[in-house]
Structure 1
Amino acid sequence: MARRTKVAILGGGIGGLSAAHELAELGDDAFEIDVYEASEAVGGKAKSQFLADTGREGRLDLPGEHGFRFFPAWYSHLPDVMQRIPRPGGGTVADNLVGCTEMGMAEVGARQVYKLKRHRPSAVGEFVDMLAAVGDLFEGTGISTMEMGRFVLSMLGFACASDERRRDVYENRSFFEFIRGATYSERFRRYINSSRFMVAMDAQRGSACTIGNKVLQLILDFFRPKGANDRVLNGPTATRWLDPWEAYLRSRGVRFHFGRPVSALEVDVSRRRIAGARIGSTGERIEADHFIASLPLEPMALLVGDDLAGLDASLMEFKRARVHELTAWMVGAQYFLRRDVTICDGHIAFPDAPWALSAISQAQFWTRGQEEAFSALYGDGSVAGVLSVDVSDWSTTAPGLSKTAAQCASKEEVLDEVWRQIKQGLNGTKEELLRDEDLVRAHLDTGIQFTAEGVRNASPLLVHPPGSWYQRPLAAPEGVQNLFFAADFVQTGTDLATMEGANEAARLAVNGLLAREGRSARATLFPTTEDAGPLMRKIKAWDRKSWLEQRRALPNLPKPPGPFRDGEGPSLDEVKRYQAELEAAARALPDLP
């Protein structure tokens, strides 16, 4: 019997599990796959954090999470792998995804939460009506039509730019600079920065290329059918996704080793290979034919020494990067309530919250289609609902506390202030949605640790500052023969630190490994697409040709209205005329051969 190729996957998060999945299914039993995970469970940042000893009389412990799960419409790789994971009782774990029909904005002083209902047509048509989509986004918020018009013009200009021009030009400036965010009202700036409530985006720190791509995707999502643009799991991540995934991989021969953190990589410089890895506090040495690293950004950066970085240009750029300047904190908290406060059928942004909060009331989704109530499934029977909150700004001072989140002395201090900010946004003059007497207990992500030296976060996220694309490694570095990266910080088409990015990186890593093994099989990749209509695709194609040949934007497009002085902008009629002019210009462009 031929010797099987040994693959060591370092890290059991979404990237590591995805790499194991693709190898197990594509390898024809040719690979011996071992996953080494530092914690005691798979999932990384996605794993559930059940509160020990809170379940009674057959109920599960109360379910905490690193943060709420979110599956936007532009995810392609993750739904694909979920459709290949059997679900106990039949079907696949993709059947555990349920659609959200609303998005909420909770402003301080508002009479009630503004609920954006997603009911737009299922197709854009020949040309995207950007004004209609952005108008839906800001309808009822009090944003001036001039500011809305200026934002539409910015996004139309971005939509016309080819991917190559976006990377060459917009990568090197922030999204806030690109839209001239400082010239907008404070109210509008709060709304733009609340883009972070859906994905790990920071409009002020993130590059215009990365943030612009995702903002455009979110805008285009408003043209999708109700419930198809925003999906969540119908239960805790562990039970609805990760546990079935681990069971399936074990059935395919994948072996898991828990409590085994990676402490060092040994490099054979002369052969341009990883010779081995040191695991755990004892420094146990493991050997493999190939190594797939699926570690968070900061731990991975510590493992890339001079000898390894010297073998590959992308790893050298990665080593030179100031990793702490590339990251921010985005972690979750859960508030377990005596009554189910649904708020809206989807996610809620808190644009006034100093700590950039976003939330979702989860019980409505976790009991959908079931006869049992939340209180019958989790805890001791006293908890009827759970509000899951993401805290995305740890460096802004909360006026009521006179501290940043990172300056707090305990998790209780953080949780109390987050609760106060949530109540400010939700408890308008019409009704009091949240009451202190409803709160049973609260949970903060266990990755946040309070020490004598201050607050530490074990899982910071890449926030894609300008120029950071060039500091991120490739999934399959050419200079190292047997090292690959399946992590959300590598260069991918997704280009965002998300579960989708980790899954795509894993596929790129596996494809690189398969190629070096001389195998023809490949994991499927799904190019990121912008469904803005065939005429917009034609403009982008011509812009690509013009940019690659002459390094200039397409010269024969109509010029947008403006320029405008600070605080001014176009009328909506001017924006409509400009959209019509762009559409006419696109029709006049000949088809490219």
Structure 2
Amino acid sequence: MKKVAILGGGVAGLSAAHELIERGFDVAVYESQTIPGGKARSIPVPHSGTDGRKNLPGEHGFRCFPGFYRHIIDTMKRIPYSEEQSVYDQLVTAQEMGLARFDHELVSISTSIPKSMTGIKKNLKALFDSDWGLSEKEVVFFTERLWQVMTSCRERIMDEYERISWWDYLDGDNQSKNFHEVFASISRSLVAAKSTEASAKTFGTVLSQLLLGIITPTNDSDRVLNGPTNEVWIEPWLSYLKQKGVRYHTNVAVCGFQLKEGSITGVKIQQDGEDVLVHADFYLSTLPVEAMGPLVSSDMLRVDPTLFGLKQLAKDVDWMNGIQFFMKRDVPIVNGHLIIMDSPWAITAISQKQFWSGKNLQQYGDGQVKGIISVDISEWNKPGILLGKKAIECTREEIKEEVWAQLKKALNHEKVLLRDEDVHSWFLDPDIHFDDSGKITNREPLLINKVFAWSLRPYAFTRVPNLFLASDYVRTNTDLASMEAANEAARRAVNSILDAAGSKKRKCKIWDMYQFDLLTPWHIHDWVRYKKGLPWDGGSSFFSRAIYLLLYSGKYAWGKVQQFSWFR
């Protein structure tokens, strides 16, 4: 049995361990945190459980599983949860997406096929009755931009759109404030990426896929877990892997690599206060880029100069961290994720209890919590509405007060959804760390796919023959810092290890992403133009006229339909 040392026990590390142990390798995982799962882990609120109850369930940020995910879903289907169910069966469909603004009523859009007239009316109302402050020209322009991404050939996407930011692609400097709030700034809320820096290649393809999932809804275009992440996913996963023979070590710090004659001969770690040298046949690093970059030594660079890109990528990170509000009463809000469009801190949220039907929250904390609102903060460098301070300048208490104020301003209009007296307690992600002077740091930032970053990103294999990489910075089809990318990167690394070991075991399956198969004729057309050095055309004039026709005819029909008593 060939031994593999996996550095990092998050989604990538667990995914790699899963694939390797099922193919007969001897696997040991070394995780820095005391809780397994990496950035996906649940973080119990310390000392919150009383009288034998479990600690309240905090999170680094809420978990989301869009319909286009393939790799992580395949793995979840292979993790036993009970005799009859897998972890995949613990996913439930989020039926709606909420769009909130400070000066407008909440708008909810169905993300699955409406099952009643009420659902149909809700979607039509969101499309035609909501005052987005956008002109038909702006809507058509944005739609054309997405159409261009979807109908461009892969070569043009990898070349031209990798070299332009999402902001410039949307001509952001010449757009209205409403356009920015609705379209240009959405990258900040969804993936913590500034539109002025995010690659149009990455964000254009991901946003196109997300919107297609809403426009052509299915029953699983958006999914969430039916309980705290570790309880319904990570712990069953780790239990399965340990039964198979995986050794999983926590509270381990990776300190460096030992190199001889161009190969890794050991990894220096600190475990339980002792310095240890770990030996294996193959070494797989799933450490995040900000942790792996500094470990790349000059000796490693002499063997593989491309690893220098990790040191560059380590600078391309930003903050996206969670805060939970534990409520004395449940406030469902919408049956899915909520985006506050004009939030200066780019707040997104979800009310969890409605999806946790099998969980009794009275078994947590002091038994008084009846609902959980889980929030992600994606913009830490803009002043808030309450204190006028940037999140990065605030204390823990000030962050809580500001987030709560933005939630209330976005949701409390004609009907008051959020009341101060209903807040039982709150919990800020402990990765947001305050030193003795009050200076704030983030121990687990998020990689951002910036313009030109693709050229810096490594493959899952390296020129160091027994060193492999599996993290969200590895080149993947997913091309977005996410659980899906981490799982795909792990599969690519495992396939490379199989090659290096001369194994005949079956390779891990890799899926293509963002293919838009129905648009293949357009892709072929654009590929021919790209090879000739011609710009994209994509039949935009026809498409513009079609969008104009849909907008005007749709508004007219909506007005007429509302006049019928049966519809009202």
Question: Is the TM-score greater than 0.5?
Answer: yes
Which residues of 2 match residues 347-358 of structure 1 at below 5 A? 347-358=337-348
Paired position in structure 1 for 2:163: 172
2:289 touches 2:313 (CA, 8 Å); kept in 1? no
Paired position in structure 2 for 1:455: 440
Equivalent position amino acid for 2:84 in 1: G
* 1:91-149 deviation digits (Å, cap 9, x = unpaired): 10000000011100111122x31111235599xxxxxxxxxx99977872423322111
Paired position in structure 1 for 2:380: 394
Aligned partner (choices 535, 545, 548) of residue 573 of structure 1 = 548
* 1:37-95 deviation digits (Å, cap 9, x = unpaired): 11112100110011133234554221000000000011100110000000035310000
Q: Separation in 1 of the partners of 2:33 and 2:219?
A: 35
* 1:423-461 deviation digits (Å, cap 9, x = unpaired): 111111x11110100001100001110112711101111
* 1:294-321 deviation digits (Å, cap 9, x = unpaired): 11110111111222123224313333x1
Paired position in structure 2 for 1:345: 335
Which residues of 2 match residues 35-184 of structure 1 at below 5 A? 35-110=29-104, 112-119=105-112, 140-142=130-132, 143-184=134-175
Paired position in structure 2 for 1:287: 279
Aligned partner (choices 18, 23, 38) of residue 21 of structure 1 = 18
Paired position in structure 1 for 2:404: 419
The alignment partner of 1:74 has SS state of coil
Q: Separation in 1 of the partners of 2:536 and 2:102?
A: 44
Q: Separation in 2 of the partners of 1:297 and 1:361?
A: 31
Equivalent position amino acid for 1:543 in 2: D
Equivalent position amino acid for 2:19 in 1: E
Q: Separation in 1 of the partners of 2:371 and 2:114?
A: 33
Q: Separation in 1 of the partners of 2:513 and 2:128?
A: 26
1:164 touches 1:544 (CA, 8 Å); kept in 2? yes
The alignment partner of 2:303 has SS state of coil
Q: Alpha carbons of 1:423 and 1:356: their partners in 2 closer, same or farther (altered >3 Å)?
A: same
Paired position in structure 1 for 2:263: 273
Q: Separation in 2 of the partners of 1:32 and 1:277?
A: 16
2:318 touches 2:445 (CA, 8 Å); kept in 1? yes
The alignment partner of 2:266 has SS state of strand
2:107 touches 2:126 (CA, 8 Å); kept in 1? no
Paired position in structure 2 for 1:540: 523
The alignment partner of 1:261 has SS state of strand
Matched, 1:363 2:353: yes
Deviation at 1:378, TM superposition (A): 2.3
Matched, 1:236 2:221: no
Deviation at 1:284, TM superposition (A): 1.4
The alignment partner of 2:337 has SS state of strand
Q: Alpha carbons of 1:376 and 1:224: their partners in 2 closer, same or farther (altered >3 Å)?
A: farther
1:159 touches 1:216 (CA, 8 Å); kept in 2? yes
The alignment partner of 1:394 has SS state of coil
RMSD: 2.4
Matched, 1:488 2:488: no
The alignment partner of 1:332 has SS state of strand
Paired position in structure 1 for 2:209: 217
1:338 touches 1:440 (CA, 8 Å); kept in 2? yes
1:314 touches 1:474 (CA, 8 Å); kept in 2? no
Deviation at 1:6, TM superposition (A): 1.1
Q: Alpha carbons of 1:226 and 1:435: their partners in 2 closer, same or farther (altered >3 Å)?
A: farther
Q: Separation in 1 of the partners of 2:128 and 2:351?
A: 22
Q: Separation in 2 of the partners of 1:516 and 1:136?
A: 54
1:542 touches 1:554 (CA, 8 Å); kept in 2? no
Q: Separation in 2 of the partners of 1:89 and 1:120?
A: 31
Aligned pair count reads 539
1:149 touches 1:575 (CA, 8 Å); kept in 2? no
Aligned partner (choices 363, 382, 402) of residue 368 of structure 2 = 382
Q: TM-score, normalised by structure 2?
A: 0.90
Which residues of 2 match residues 314-333 of structure 1 at below 5 A? 314-319=306-311, 321=312, 323-324=314-315, 326-333=316-323
Matched, 1:264 2:256: yes
The alignment partner of 2:405 has SS state of helix
User: Structure 1 residues 295-304 or 374-383, which shifts more?
Assistant: 374-383
Aligned partner (choices 239, 245, 250) of residue 253 of structure 1 = 245
The alignment partner of 1:295 has SS state of coil
1:146 touches 1:571 (CA, 8 Å); kept in 2? no
User: Structure 1 residues 234-243 or 152-161, which shifts more?
Assistant: 152-161
The alignment partner of 2:259 has SS state of strand
Deviation at 1:214, TM superposition (A): 0.4
Q: Separation in 2 of the partners of 1:526 and 1:517?
A: 23
Equivalent position amino acid for 2:18 in 1: H
Paired position in structure 2 for 1:129: none
Q: TM-score, normalised by structure 1?
A: 0.86
The alignment partner of 1:68 has SS state of coil
Matched, 1:439 2:423: yes
The alignment partner of 1:106 has SS state of strand
The alignment partner of 1:42 has SS state of coil
Paired position in structure 2 for 1:518: 502
Deviation at 1:355, TM superposition (A): 0.5
Q: Separation in 1 of the partners of 2:102 and 2:536?
A: 44
1:134 touches 1:219 (CA, 8 Å); kept in 2? no
Q: Separation in 1 of the partners of 2:43 and 2:51?
A: 20
Q: Alpha carbons of 1:322 and 1:293: their partners in 2 closer, same or farther (altered >3 Å)?
A: closer
Which residues of 2 match residues 543-558 of structure 1 at below 5 A? 543-547=526-530, 549-553=531-535, 557-558=538-539
Q: Separation in 2 of the partners of 1:185 and 1:377?
A: 49
* 1:191-231 deviation digits (Å, cap 9, x = unpaired): 22234444454433210000001011011112444541110
Q: Alpha carbons of 1:461 and 1:531: their partners in 2 closer, same or farther (altered >3 Å)?
A: same
Q: Separation in 1 of the partners of 2:74 and 2:308?
A: 33
Q: Alpha carbons of 1:16 and 1:33: their partners in 2 closer, same or farther (altered >3 Å)?
A: same
Q: Alpha carbons of 1:311 and 1:134: their partners in 2 closer, same or farther (altered >3 Å)?
A: farther
Structure 2 gaps of 5+ residues are 116-122, 553-568
* 1:245-284 deviation digits (Å, cap 9, x = unpaired): 000000110001111110111222x3x2112111015331
2:140 touches 2:548 (CA, 8 Å); kept in 1? no
Equivalent position amino acid for 2:27 in 1: I
Equivalent position amino acid for 2:294 in 1: L
Q: Alpha carbons of 1:515 and 1:532: their partners in 2 closer, same or farther (altered >3 Å)?
A: closer
Q: Separation in 1 of the partners of 2:352 and 2:478?
A: 27
1:507 touches 1:525 (CA, 8 Å); kept in 2? yes
Structure 1 gaps of 5+ residues are 123-132, 563-568, 578-593
Q: Alpha carbons of 1:365 and 1:177: their partners in 2 closer, same or farther (altered >3 Å)?
A: same
